[in-house]
Amino acid sequence: MACPMNCPKTLRNGPCGGVRANGHCEVDPSMVCVWVTSWEGSKRMGNPESTIQIIQAPVDVRLKGTSAWLRAVRKRLGVDK
C-alpha cells in the first residue's frame, strides 16, 4: 500500500475528485493518485472493510516542517513547546 500522506493536496480521506481517467493525479500527471494505489492495495490485502475507510482528521498545514515524533513525546510528557 502507498502512504496517502504524499498526496500533493495533502488529502487524507480519499481522492479529491480530480483523479484523471488513467488513475493519475490531477496536480502531478506523472504520478499515480496515491488513493488509487492505496485502495487497490487495500483490496489485495483481502479486507474490503479495512481501516482505509476510517475518516482521518484533516492535515494541519500549520505543522508542516515540524517534528511529529517530538510533538508526540512532548504531549506524552505534558511539556508545552
What pLDDT score was predicted for residue 56?
A: 77
Query: pLDDT by residue (tens digit) across 9-33?
Result: 888 777 787 889 999 999 999 999 9
The pTM of the full predicted model, rounded to 2 decimals, is 0.60
Residue written as grid cell 502507498: 2
Using CA atoms, how far apart are residues 15 and 52, in angstroms rounded to an integer? Answer: 12
What pLDDT score was predicted for residue 25?
A: 92
- C-alpha cell belonging to residue 66: 515540524
Query: pLDDT by residue (tens digit) across 24-80?
Result: 999 999 999 988 888 888 888 776 666 777 777 777 888 888 888 888 898 899 886
Residue written as grid cell 487497490: 40
Chain centroid offset of residue 14 CA: 8
